[in-house]
Structure 1
Amino acid sequence: MIDSAQRRDVISRVARQIPVSDGRACTRVAVDGPDGSGKSTFADELAAATRALDHPVVRVSLDDFHNVRAVRYQRGRESPEGFWQDSFNYRRFHSDVLEPFAPGGSRRYRAAAHDLATDTMLDPEPSTALPGTVLIVDGLFLHRDEIVDAWDLSVFLDVPFSVTANRMASRDGTNPDPGHPSMRRYVEAQRIYFNACAPRQRADILIDNRDLSTPRIRRG
């Protein structure tokens, strides 16, 4: 875990921008960015900073809403279009997470719909969030058309592929060269997303996160 005064300041500034309701309504926050941009860590730290402001928080990751392998790879295991279109189960993500935290929602949510390691669909008992909870979600493609309007605040972590590929290599053992054929599925899928949805422009807050110790808010 990277800890620095500048990183803590950026996280704190984002936490203070979350539009928390004075009543029972919940707030939905997205942390988006390419694979390897640092979304999960940023979202965890944002959750801690938000709790420090005395707001209840629920953390969810879109990684727990993958489709099963048969769906994810139906266009081929190397297909960028398949990664972009077929990776995630947006129907379950809507019904289990976004709708319960929407205005007037039940607050009864399920935090996972799929176990990636076993490729098993999950249907856990729902949990009930407190009134006024801040939902913080990290994941890929969170500014795509199907879900972009769900967020009360959204963050995009902007990191070049040359950096994310090295982080993925350290984390997953993949090739550190973003131009390597084995990385085409992931890198080209992100380019499809950038061209189709312009997440840097759609995000409320744009953060340069190439240096984890010195992130910089570029907009927001």
Structure 2
Amino acid sequence: MVTIARRRPALPCGTRVVAVDGPSGSGKTTLAAHLEAHLRRTGGHVVVVHMDDLYPGWDGLAAAVTLLSSQVVEPLAQGRDGAYQRYDWARGAYAERHEILCATAWLVVEGVGCGADVIRPRLAALAWLEADRETRRRRGLERDGESYAPHWERWAGQESAHFAGHATREHADLVVDTGQ
């Protein structure tokens, strides 16, 4: 993944954006953490953005893609700093602001929607992670607890519609089945 990204041009400000997309519970956060550790060892300044910090609630997948594009990726593509406000799920409101400096060498974005068609042209690499539905649901509930259970189907419906409309898997540089 890093090799692919290094072969492609950075954004005008010097940032390479790597996206880790796929359905909930497929292992995106884990892969992003490994990418971050690897990139830090090789000396690059790395920022990780979790889409969970952008979704404005359980019905916010589409809105988060727009926020990622307009507030983070496009400013970097124009040679300016990007920024976003973290969504506080407990309060149901946006919280503190996070700056992403144009001088950032690597931006790793993980979460459902980060490989959307509006963002894809700005990516240095896109990974797609997947696993069977039962494995993903089990992982999601282990990670987020039973509070996630009533929202699983609601979120899965948004994911399905989003992925069908954006053909994310078909555009990925790397496809990994994490359920094996």
Contact 2:20–2:115 (CA under 8 A) maintained in structure 1: no
In 2, Cα distance between the equivalents of 1:36 and 1:207? 13
More helix by share: 2
Q: 2:125 aligns with which of 153, 160, 169?
A: 153
Equivalent residue number for residue 42 of structure 2: 53
In 1, Cα distance between the equivalents of 2:98 and 2:173? 33
In 1, Cα distance between the equivalents of 2:95 and 2:66? 14
What's the TM-score, normalizing by structure 2? 0.81
* AA of the residue aligned to 2:129: L
More strand by share: 2
SS at match of 1:136: strand
1:95-124 Cα distance to aligned partner (Å, 9 max, x none): 33112322x412x23253422221222462
Structure 2 unmatched ranges of 5 or more: none
In 1, Cα distance between the equivalents of 2:172 and 2:98? 32
* AA of the residue aligned to 2:139: R
In 1, Cα distance between the equivalents of 2:100 and 2:163? 34
1:158-208 Cα distance to aligned partner (Å, 9 max, x none): 2111110111121223499xxx98632123333223322222211111111
In 2, Cα distance between the equivalents of 1:54 and 1:130? 14
SS at match of 2:97: coil
SS at match of 1:36: coil
Contact 1:32–1:156 (CA under 8 A) maintained in structure 2: yes
In 2, Cα distance between the equivalents of 1:182 and 1:97? 27
In 1, Cα distance between the equivalents of 2:27 and 2:168? 16
In 2, Cα distance between the equivalents of 1:84 and 1:62? 9
SS at match of 2:158: helix
Q: 2:69 aligns with which of 74, 94, 98?
A: 94
* AA of the residue aligned to 2:89: L
Q: 2:17 aligns with which of 19, 22, 28?
A: 28
In the TM superposition, what is the alpha-carbon distance from 1:41 to its structure 2 partner?
1.7
1:10-34 Cα distance to aligned partner (Å, 9 max, x none): xxxx223322658952111100011
Taking the TM superposition and a 5 Å limit, the aligned residue runs for 1:90-129 are 90-102=65-77, 104-106=78-80, 108-122=81-95, 124=97, 126-129=99-102
* AA of the residue aligned to 2:72: V
Report how many aligned residue pairs link the two structures: 178
Contact 1:157–1:208 (CA under 8 A) maintained in structure 2: yes
Contact 2:82–2:102 (CA under 8 A) maintained in structure 1: yes
Equivalent residue number for residue 107 of structure 2: 135
* AA of the residue aligned to 2:2: A
Contact 1:65–1:112 (CA under 8 A) maintained in structure 2: yes
In the TM superposition, what is the alpha-carbon distance from 1:64 to its structure 2 partner?
1.2
Asked whether 1:171 is paired with 2:143, we answer: yes
Structure 1 unmatched ranges of 5 or more: 1-13, 73-81, 212-220
Question: Which has the higher relative contact order, 1 or 2, with Cα contacts under 8 A spaced 6 or more apart?
Answer: 2
- Calculate percent identity across the aligned residue pairs: 26
In the TM superposition, what is the alpha-carbon distance from 1:149 to its structure 2 partner?
2.3
In 2, Cα distance between the equivalents of 1:172 and 1:137? 20
Equivalent residue number for residue 4 of structure 1: none
Contact 1:28–1:153 (CA under 8 A) maintained in structure 2: yes
